[in-house]
Chains A and B, each alone.
Chain A
Amino acid sequence: MISMDTKTIDEAVELAKFEQKIANEEKIEPSDWMPEAYRKNVIRQMSQHAHSEIIGMQPEGNWITRAPTLRRKAVLLSKVQDEGGHGLYLYSATETLGITRSEMIEALQSRKAKYASIFNYPTLTWADIGAIGWLVDGAAIVNQISLQRTSYGPYARAMVRICKEESFHQRQGYEIMYELAHGTPVQKQMAQDAMNRFWWPSLMMFGPHDADSAHSGQSILWKVKRESNDFLRQKFIDQSVVQIEVLGLELPDPEIVWNEERGHYDSGPIDWDEFKRVINGGGPCNYQRIKHHKKAHQEGEWVREAVRAYRLKQQTKNVA
């Protein structure tokens, strides 16, 4: 009983220290004591973020061989390579919380872990590559800028690095859209269609409305999340409207209208049934995305096997 009490007191002291750090805007670092629920919450959010970077390579990778010019191909290749790098930063940063890379991959492949539901939509035309860079990366940047101030140190530092690279992604997407929107009527229509399809899933990227968000309350208290879903979504809508006007395209939502009183654009209701359906596996490409991930992973097994053999040999050599 005495040891139990000591443990409880120790924990209470540690918890107080932890909460003080959060209150002082200090970062939590890997070796610090942290409540188990904080650790789990950060692992969930970071690994989900890492999975999104990796799965996000698929819809865009799909167009690398079909990019219309050599320059576009080089740009897209660079962008997809960046996404792979972002996944790596985030997996590495998540591992500092005591979870292994293979546990995370297992969680992704068995669908225990989620990734951004937007990547379950197909890329049907070249304009989709423009729409993804501009809208999907644009929405991600709005979210990631606020996460540069997240309370978990390695996550915050990874976000700083990612944000630096991400703005090229958005600009190259917007450039594709701008050229199509100012091209032939068919090209303009293609841009319009891509924007219309990616607009709503982009808004869903910010997650459910604040009132319905399962993890938001605690995440905000612990400063894992720094801004609410609805606040960030509004910011994204406000910045996008002017960009759509410059493209000369029709707004994807007829209910978008400036609200003088709020100082923001009002917009139409989001189809949350679709969001739930897609995030729970019912989107057009969920099955394909995971299947492809498993296939690529299995096809790399011979490399891992060779590496194991190589390392074993090196170790034996060192001993001898």
Chain B
Amino acid sequence: MNQEHLAVYEVFVRSNRGLDHKHVGSLHAESPEHALMYARDCYIRRSEGVSIWVVESSNITASTESDVENFVEPMDDKPYRHATHYVLPEKVKNM
């Protein structure tokens, strides 16, 4: 009955060369090598990708979204980091 002998892996697929790997879901597997084979069978049956990454979920360290204000606020008070902060002279249409 017990299925927890398998670890949970997160699956990332690069759909084409030149693009980022994108998270597509997760699956259970015995080892990273098996996870890769299962991901192939499950997530790219119709040429959805050219490359797969798998990583055991427990190895991912994530920020907490609920704490996003404390985590990223220092960035928000620096409007001069954005191009829109600078007003162009009217004669210069595009830059």
Contacts and interface: CB of A to CB of B under 8 A. Distances in A.
Given A31-B64, A88-B42, A101 B31 contact: no
Most chain B beta carbons < 10 A, residue from A93, A165, A304: A304
A182 interface: no
Interface residues of B, number: 22
Contact of B30 (A161, A297, A310): A310
Residues of A in contact with B, size category = 20 to 34
Instruction: List 8 tightest A-B contacts by C-beta distance, closest first.
Output: A101-B3, A308-B5, A102-B3, A92-B26, A307-B30, A85-B42, A102-B2, A307-B5
Contacts of B46: 165
Could you tell me the dominant secondary structure of chain B's interface residues? Answer: loop
Contacts of B45: 81-82, 85
Given A158-B25, A311-B31, A33 B66 contact: yes
Contacts of B30: 307, 310-311
B1 A102 contact: yes
Most chain A beta carbons < 10 A, residue from B27, B28, B30, B65: B30
B24 interface: yes
A32 B66 contact: yes
Contact of A92 (B1, B27, B31, B66): B27
A106 interface: yes
B76 interface: no
Contacts of B42: 85, 88-89
B8 interface: yes
A95 B28 CA distance: 11
Interface in B11-53: 24-28, 30-31, 41-42, 45-46
B25 A311 contact: no
A26 B54 CA distance: 28
Interface string A100-141: 111001100000000000000000000000000000000000
Contacts of A307: 5-6, 30
Contacts of A92: 8, 25-28
Interface string A27-44: 001011100000000000
A314 interface: yes
